Amino acid sequence: MTDPYYKEMKHQKKEYDWVSNCVYANYKIPTKCICGGAITVETDERGRNYYVCKDFKNDGLHIRHDCLAALEEELDCLRSQYAEEVSLRRELQLELAQMRKEIKELKQLIML
C-alpha cells in the first residue's frame, strides 16, 4: 500500500506539470502537447514548418506553433540566460580579486 501523502504529492506534481504545459504551450520549442501527446514537425502548403501535436485537432486543446517563432523565442531566452551568467561571472571575478587583495594584505600583516 502506498503512502497517501506520497500519492497526493505525485498527483499535485502531475497537475502542476499539466498547468505548466498549458501556460507555456505556445512559447519556445514545445516538448509535449497540452493533451499529453507527442510533438512533431510538419510543413504546410507554403513551406513553413510548424511544431504540431500528433493528434492535432483545431479545437484549442492542441499545439500548432510556428518553428521560426519558437526558435526566436528560444534564442531570446538563451540570450537572457547568457547575459545573467556573464553578469554573475563578472561579479564573482570582482569578488575573487577583492579576496586576493585581502589575503595579500593579511599575509603582509602576519609577516610583520
Region of residue 36 (phi > 0: left; psi between -120 and 50: alpha; otherwise: beta):
left
pTM (whole model) above 0.75: no
pLDDT of residue 14: 84
pLDDT at 106 over 60: yes
- Strand-strand pairing, 49-53 and 39-43: antiparallel
Check residue 23 and give its pLDDT: 73
| Cell numbers linked to 55 | 493528434
Q: What gap in Å lies between CA 108 and CA 112, rounded to an integer?
A: 7
> Which tens digit of pLDDT belongs to each residue from 19-30?
776 777 778 888
pLDDT (tens digit, 9 = 90+) per residue, 28-37? 888 888 787 8
pLDDT at 1: 55
Tens digit of each residue's pLDDT (9 = 90 or more) over 39-95: 899 999 999 999 998 888 877 778 888 899 999 999 999 999 999 999 999 999 999
